[in-house]
Structure 1
Amino acid sequence: MWIVFLPITNTSCVIMDASLIFKLKFLLLCLLCTIMFNFVMCSWNMHCNEKDMNILLSFKTGVTDPSGMLTSWFPKLDCCQWKGVKCDNTTGRVTQLNLPCHTNRHKLVAFGEKENKSHCLTGELNLPLLELEFLSYLNLSNNDFKSIQYNSTSNQKCDDLSRGNPPHPCENSTNLLYLDLSYNYDLLVDNIHWISLFSSLQYLNLGGVHLRKEIDWLQSMTMLPSLLELHLASCHLENIYPLREFANFTSLQVLNLADNRFLDELPSWLFNLSCNIFHIDLSRNKIHSQLPKTLPNLRSIKSFVLSHNCLKGPIPSWLGQLGQLQELDLSHNSFSGPIPESLGKLSSLIKLKLESNDLNGTLPEDLGQLFNLETLRVSENPLTGIMSERNLSSLKNLKNFSMSSPGLIFHFDPEWLPPFQLLNIELGHLSDKLPAWIFTQSSLKYLTIADSTTSFEPLDKFWSFATQLEYISLRNNTINGDMSNVSLSSKVVWFVENNLRGGIPHISPQVVVLILRNNSLSGSISHLLCHNSRDKRNLQYLDMSYNRLTGELTDCWNNWESLVLINLRFNNLTGRIPDSMGSLSNLRFLYLKSNKFFGEVPFSLRNCKNLRILDLCRNNLSGVIPNWLGQSVEGLELRSNQFSGNIPTQLCQLHSLMVISLASNRLSGPIPNCLHNITAMLSNYSAAHKVGFTLNFPGFSVDLSCSIPMLIKGNELPYFNVMNAIDLSSNNLSGSVPLEIYMLTGLQSLNLSHNHLVGTIPQEIGNLLQLEAIDLSANNFSGVIPESMSALNYLSALNLSFNNFMGKIPSGTQLGATNISYMGNPHLCGAPLTKICPPDEKSNNTKLIGHVDDDDKLEVYSWFYMGLGMGFVVGFWGVFGAILFNRRCRHAYFKFVHRMYHFVIHRTKSIY
Structure 2
Amino acid sequence: MHSPSCEYIRVSDLKDPANRLASWVAEEDSDCCSWIGVVCDHMTGHIHELHLNNSDSDWDCNSCFGGKINPSLLSLKHLNYLDLSENNFNTTRIPSFFGSMTSLTHLNLGYSWFDGVIPHKLGNLSSLRYLNLSNYNLKVDNLRWISGLSLLKHLDLSHVDLSKASDWLQVTNMLPSLAELIMFDCQLDQIPHLPIANFTSLVVLDLSESYFNSLMLRWVFSIKNLVSLRLSYCGFQGPIPSISQNITSLREIDLSSNSISLDPIPNSIQNMTGLKVLNLEENNFNSTIPEWLYSLNNLESLLLSYNELRGEISSSIGNMTSLVNLHLDGNRLEGKIPNSLGHLCKLKVLDLSENHFTLDSWHLGLEWPMWLRTQTQLRDLSLSGTQISSTIPTWFWNLTSQVEYLNLSHNQMYGQIQNISVAQYSVVDLSSNHFTGALPIVPTSLLWLDLSNSSFSGSQLYFLHLGNNNLTGKVPDCWMSWQSLRFLNLENNNLTGNVPMSMGYLQYLRSLHLRNNHLYGELPHSLQNCTELSVVDLRVNGFSGSIPIWIGKSLSKLNVLNLRSNKFEGDIPNEVCYLKSLQILDLAHNKLSGMIPRCFHNLSALANSSESFFPTRVYSISDEDRIIISENTILVTKGIEMEYSKILGLVKGMDLSCNFMYGEIPEELTGLLALQSLNLSNNRFTGRIPSKIGNMVQLESLDFSMNQLDGEIPPSMTNLTFLSHLNLAYNNLTGRIPESTQLQSLDQSSFVGNELCGAPLNKNCSTNGVIPPATVEQDGGGGYRLLEDGWFYVSLGVGFFTGFWIVLGSLLVNMPWSVLLSQLLNRIVLKMYHVIVEYV
Q: TM-score range by the shorter chain?
A: 0.5 to 0.7
Give yes or no for the alignment of 1:99 onto 2:99: no
1:445 counterpart (386, 403, 426)? 403
1:320 counterpart (270, 275, 289)? 270
Aligned to 1:846: none
1:166–1:582 distance in 2 versus 1, CA, 3 Å:
closer
Q: Which amino acid aligns with 1:141?
A: S
Between stretches 418-427 and 566-575, larger displacement belongs to 566-575
Q: CA deviation at 1:408?
A: 1.9
Q: Which deviations, in whole Å up to 9, do the C-alpha atoms of 1:711-759 show, x marking residues without a partner?
A: xxxxxxxxxxxxxxxxxxxxxxxxxxxxxxxxxxxxxxxxxxxxxxxxx
1:289 counterpart (237, 249, 267)? 237
Distance 2:302 2:19 in 1: 47
Distance 1:331 1:94 in 2: 48
Aligned to 1:430: 386
Q: How does 1:607-622 map to 2 (within 5 A)?
A: 607-611=562-566
Q: Are the counterparts in 2 of residues 87 and 93 from structure 1 also a CA contact under 8 Å?
A: yes
| Alignment RMSD | 5.1
Aligned to 1:408: 357
Q: How does 1:162-181 map to 2 (within 5 A)?
A: 167=121, 170=124, 173-174=126-127, 176-181=128-133
Distance 2:171 2:392 in 1: 55
2:197 counterpart (225, 237, 247)? 247
Q: Which amino acid aligns with 1:302?
A: R
1:170–1:288 distance in 2 versus 1, CA, 3 Å:
closer
What is the DSSP-based 3-state SS (H/G/I as helix, E as strand, rest coil) of the residue aligned with 1:428?
A: coil
1:231–1:222 distance in 2 versus 1, CA, 3 Å:
same
Aligned to 1:332: 282
Q: CA deviation at 1:519?
A: 5.5
Aligned to 2:534: 580
Distance 2:70 2:328 in 1: 48
Distance 1:586 1:141 in 2: 28
Q: Are the counterparts in 2 of residues 313 and 335 from structure 1 also a CA contact under 8 Å?
A: yes
Aligned-residue identity in percent: 23
Aligned to 2:155: 204
Q: Are the counterparts in 2 of residues 521 and 547 from structure 1 also a CA contact under 8 Å?
A: yes
Q: CA deviation at 1:228?
A: 2.7
What is the DSSP-based 3-state SS (H/G/I as helix, E as strand, rest coil) of the residue aligned with 1:223?
A: coil
Q: Specify every segment of 5 or more residues in structure 1 that has no aligned partner in the other structure, as ranges.
A: 1-42, 106-114, 615-620, 635-647, 652-912
Q: Are the counterparts in 1 of residues 298 and 322 from structure 2 also a CA contact under 8 Å?
A: yes
1:347–1:250 distance in 2 versus 1, CA, 3 Å:
same
Distance 1:288 1:103 in 2: 37
Q: Are the counterparts in 2 of residues 573 and 595 from structure 1 also a CA contact under 8 Å?
A: no
Distance 1:84 1:206 in 2: 25
Aligned to 1:370: 320
Q: Are the counterparts in 1 of residues 257 and 283 from structure 2 also a CA contact under 8 Å?
A: yes
1:142 counterpart (86, 105, 109)? 86
TM-score (norm 1): 0.51
Q: CA deviation at 1:451?
A: 5.1
Q: Which amino acid aligns with 1:151?
A: F
Distance 1:232 1:592 in 2: 46
Aligned to 1:227: 178
Q: Are the counterparts in 2 of residues 545 and 567 from structure 1 also a CA contact under 8 Å?
A: no
1:312–1:121 distance in 2 versus 1, CA, 3 Å:
farther
What is the DSSP-based 3-state SS (H/G/I as helix, E as strand, rest coil) of the residue aligned with 1:304?
A: strand
Distance 2:184 2:152 in 1: 18
Q: CA deviation at 1:440?
A: 4.7
Q: CA deviation at 1:596?
A: 10
Q: Are the counterparts in 1 of residues 297 and 321 from structure 2 also a CA contact under 8 Å?
A: yes
Q: CA deviation at 1:395?
A: 1.0
Q: Are the counterparts in 2 of residues 103 and 116 from structure 1 also a CA contact under 8 Å?
A: no
1:344–1:427 distance in 2 versus 1, CA, 3 Å:
same
What is the DSSP-based 3-state SS (H/G/I as helix, E as strand, rest coil) of the residue aligned with 2:268?
A: helix
Q: Are the counterparts in 2 of residues 177 and 203 from structure 1 also a CA contact under 8 Å?
A: yes
What is the DSSP-based 3-state SS (H/G/I as helix, E as strand, rest coil) of the residue aligned with 1:218?
A: helix
Q: Which amino acid aligns with 1:103?
A: D
Q: Which deviations, in whole Å up to 9, do the C-alpha atoms of 1:556-599 show, x marking residues without a partner?
A: 22788788869999997765766734445456559999999993
Q: Which deviations, in whole Å up to 9, do the C-alpha atoms of 1:766-786 show, x marking residues without a partner?
A: xxxxxxxxxxxxxxxxxxxxx
1:455 counterpart (413, 425, 428)? 413
Q: Are the counterparts in 1 of residues 532 and 555 from structure 2 also a CA contact under 8 Å?
A: no
1:574–1:508 distance in 2 versus 1, CA, 3 Å:
closer
Q: CA deviation at 1:428?
A: 1.9
Q: Are the counterparts in 2 of residues 263 and 287 from structure 1 also a CA contact under 8 Å?
A: yes
Q: Are the counterparts in 2 of residues 126 and 150 from structure 1 also a CA contact under 8 Å?
A: no
Q: Which amino acid aligns with 1:374?
A: V
Distance 1:274 1:128 in 2: 44
What is the DSSP-based 3-state SS (H/G/I as helix, E as strand, rest coil) of the residue aligned with 1:338?
A: coil
What is the DSSP-based 3-state SS (H/G/I as helix, E as strand, rest coil) of the residue aligned with 2:294?
A: helix
Q: Which deviations, in whole Å up to 9, do the C-alpha atoms of 1:590-617 show, x marking residues without a partner?
A: 9999999993788988731133589xxx
1:350 counterpart (283, 286, 300)? 300
Aligned to 1:36: none
What is the DSSP-based 3-state SS (H/G/I as helix, E as strand, rest coil) of the residue aligned with 1:599?
A: helix
What is the DSSP-based 3-state SS (H/G/I as helix, E as strand, rest coil) of the residue aligned with 1:352?
A: strand
2:222 counterpart (252, 265, 272)? 272
Q: Are the counterparts in 2 of residues 261 and 286 from structure 1 also a CA contact under 8 Å?
A: yes
Distance 2:69 2:551 in 1: 57
Q: Which deviations, in whole Å up to 9, do the C-alpha atoms of 1:834-878 show, x marking residues without a partner?
A: xxxxxxxxxxxxxxxxxxxxxxxxxxxxxxxxxxxxxxxxxxxxx
Q: Specify every segment of 5 or more residues in structure 2 that has no aligned partner in the other structure, as ranges.
A: 103-114, 362-366, 579-584, 596-840
Q: Are the counterparts in 2 of residues 302 and 326 from structure 1 also a CA contact under 8 Å?
A: yes
1:326–1:354 distance in 2 versus 1, CA, 3 Å:
same
Q: CA deviation at 1:352?
A: 1.1
Q: Are the counterparts in 1 of residues 281 and 305 from structure 2 also a CA contact under 8 Å?
A: yes
Distance 1:128 1:197 in 2: 25
Distance 2:343 2:99 in 1: 64
1:548–1:231 distance in 2 versus 1, CA, 3 Å:
closer
1:86 counterpart (17, 39, 42)? 39
Between stretches 508-517 and 185-194, larger displacement belongs to 508-517
Distance 2:442 2:183 in 1: 47
TM-score (norm 2): 0.55
- Whose RCO is larger (CA < 8 A, sep 6+)? 1
Q: How does 1:184-195 map to 2 (within 5 A)?
A: 184-195=135-146
What is the DSSP-based 3-state SS (H/G/I as helix, E as strand, rest coil) of the residue aligned with 2:534?
A: helix
Between stretches 359-368 and 371-380, larger displacement belongs to 359-368
Q: CA deviation at 1:369?
A: 0.9
1:568–1:612 distance in 2 versus 1, CA, 3 Å:
closer
Q: Which amino acid aligns with 2:486?
A: L
Distance 2:48 2:288 in 1: 53
1:101–1:547 distance in 2 versus 1, CA, 3 Å:
closer
Between stretches 589-598 and 131-140, larger displacement belongs to 589-598
Give yes or no for the alignment of 1:498 onto 2:442: no
Q: How does 1:754-903 map to 2 (within 5 A)?
A: none
Which one has a bigger Cα radius of gyration?
Answer: 1
1:612–1:428 distance in 2 versus 1, CA, 3 Å:
farther
Q: CA deviation at 1:474?
A: 2.5
1:189–1:567 distance in 2 versus 1, CA, 3 Å:
closer
Distance 1:103 1:592 in 2: 36
Give yes or no for the alignment of 1:395 onto 2:344: yes
2:249 counterpart (283, 293, 300)? 300
Aligned to 2:511: 557
Distance 1:273 1:127 in 2: 41
Q: Which amino acid aligns with 1:454?
A: Q
Q: Are the counterparts in 1 of residues 398 and 421 from structure 2 also a CA contact under 8 Å?
A: no
Q: Which amino acid aligns with 1:425?
A: L
Distance 2:503 2:41 in 1: 73
